Amino acid sequence: MSLAPRKLHIAVEHTTLANGLRLVASPDRSAPFVTVGVYYQIGFRLEPLGRSGFAHLFEHMMFQGSENAAKMEHIRLVNSSGGLLNGTTNYDITNYFESVPSNALERVLWLEADRMRALKVDEENLRNQRDVVKEEVRVNVLNQPYGGFPWLDLPPIAFRNWPNAHNFYGDFADLDAATLADVQQFFRTYYAPNNAVLLMLGDLEPAEAFGFARRYFEDIPAQPLPPRADVTEPPQTEERHGEVTEKLGPLPAIAIGYTMPERETADWYAAAIVDRVLHGGRAGRVYRKLVLEEQIAVDVDGNADLLDTNGPTQMVTRIFHKPEFTSEGTVAVFDEVIEELQHRGIAQDELEDVKVKFRSDYYSMLEGGMGSYMPRFGLMHYLACFTLFDGDPNRINTILDHFLSVTPERIQSVAKTYLVRDNRAVLKRRPLGLGGVQ
């Protein structure tokens, strides 16, 4: 027994300032909070050649002081307004965001405008944040079982073009080589209003929010933008392999990545559904086969970051398998799952169930996302990506229909075309005690 589904409609208004800054507002007055985000179209994929980790180091510098808000002042003003803030560096975007009681909307916009206009940092700030970032790498990667698996391990094996294939967190030597001049140059090049979108969500009137945005952002000068880095990959003609030693954890792990179709193509929509057929929790085919039925693996998951990437990206399966099984045998059983989808396709009822879950997960992402600690984080994130990558924030209301109309035939053809050995990379993370190399 079930009720009729309620169709969700997200209110979206958008405009562009004279300096090229795009504005998106999404009013929702159900709770007295606003979430504000500024997304710049620069990520670790696009950082300067040979400067691994710079985009992320730079993200830290954006919290170190701007023209009228000295170091810690930005953070103090957001916290003392009753709000949270953070920033993250991604493949193709870097974002800065706050969730605050709605009476702090104007204040937050002033703060974001101040640091878009003029970063004010010194050598001491750079030294300090370089140290902080090194500890971040140690705590998340070097001193953590399976740290960086596979988001740092797999790209260098899967890809050939440096933007896609380098160490995104940064080699320590590259971090040490970063200068204050590099920081200011990076800021001038990429942190321009015409390379960004400002999102304002929640308890607000769009007209008033746009007015605040105009007041604080519109006189920030536009900059000539550099040509976008060439992130295309040369055609792949062979299966790629790599091995990394796991220094702490006891279990062998494998990551298998298939390069995905181009954004906004029919195959791309279908690939997102294929990902959920394979990886949708315990009902997903890979978990069912490797963990529940064959009991080769202790844990399996996987995903394809399709909505928030704008360049070569992979669907990645992560397998932690029991040491008494070989990696080769484990991959062979995984391959059986892929081959079954290629040869026998998918039944209509299984596909319908996957779509129901897809719709539910999409709503959850819009409502919270990122562990729900900031309301509407996912709504902000997707609105930003649809604006920057596709030029249309209203896709937030239409994109779901594309995913939900994927056919069984398209699923099978995507499996046959993309889930092939010549389009994949296989990474093994081998524990020291099991033959890994010190």
Q: Are 64 and 72 in contact (CB under 8 A)?
A: no
- Residue 353 interacting with another protein (CB under 8 A): yes
Structure tokens at 77: 């003003």
Find the binder of another protein among 142, 231, 266, 420 (CB under 8 A): 142
How large is the angle between the packed helices 395-404 and 377-390, nearest 10 degrees?
90
- Residue 202 interacting with another protein (CB under 8 A): yes
Q: Which position has the token pair 């960004």?
A: 196
Least distance to another protein from the beta carbon of 59, Å? 13
- Residue 250 interacting with another protein (CB under 8 A): yes
Q: Which position has the token pair 């069912």?
A: 288
- Residue 18 interacting with another protein (CB under 8 A): no
∠ Cα 314 320 322 (to 5°): 150
Query: Residue 182 or residue 203: which is nearer to another protein going by CB?
Result: 203
Say which DSSP state 69 is in.
Answer: B
x/- mask, another protein, residues 45-74, rule CB under 8 A, reads ----------------------xxx-xx--
Least distance to another protein from the beta carbon of 299, Å? 7
Stretch that binds another protein, among 157-165, 257-265, 327-335, 361-369 (CB under 8 A): 361-369
CA 24 to chain centre: 20
Name the CA radius of gyration of the chain, rounded.
23
Least distance to another protein from the beta carbon of 14, Å? 21
Least distance to another protein from the beta carbon of 47, Å? 20
Find the binder of another protein among 11, 18, 70, 132 (CB under 8 A): 132
Instruction: List binders of another protein among 301-330 (CB under 8 A).
Output: 320, 322
Q: Which position has the token pair 């094996």?
A: 157
Query: Residue 85 or residue 270: which is nearer to another protein going by CB?
Result: 85
> Which segments of 48-179 does DSSP mark as H helices, in order?
54-61, 73-79, 105-117, 123-137, 155-158, 162-165, 172-177
Q: Which helix (H) or strand (E) holds 429?
A: strand 424-431
Number of residues that bind another protein (CB under 8 A): 93
- Residue 182 interacting with another protein (CB under 8 A): no
Instruction: List binders of another protein among 363-422 (CB under 8 A).
Output: 363-364, 366-368, 372-376
Please state, in angstroms and rounded to a whole number, the distance separating the CA atoms of residues 163 and 229.
8
Instruction: Report helix, strand or coil for 341.
Output: helix
Find the binder of another protein among 20, 101, 408, 436 (CB under 8 A): 101
Find the binder of another protein among 84, 225, 332, 347 (CB under 8 A): 84
CA 219 to chain centre: 31
- Residue 237 interacting with another protein (CB under 8 A): no
- Residue 32 interacting with another protein (CB under 8 A): yes
CB neighbour class for 324 (10 Å; exposed up to 12, middle 13-18, buried from 19): exposed
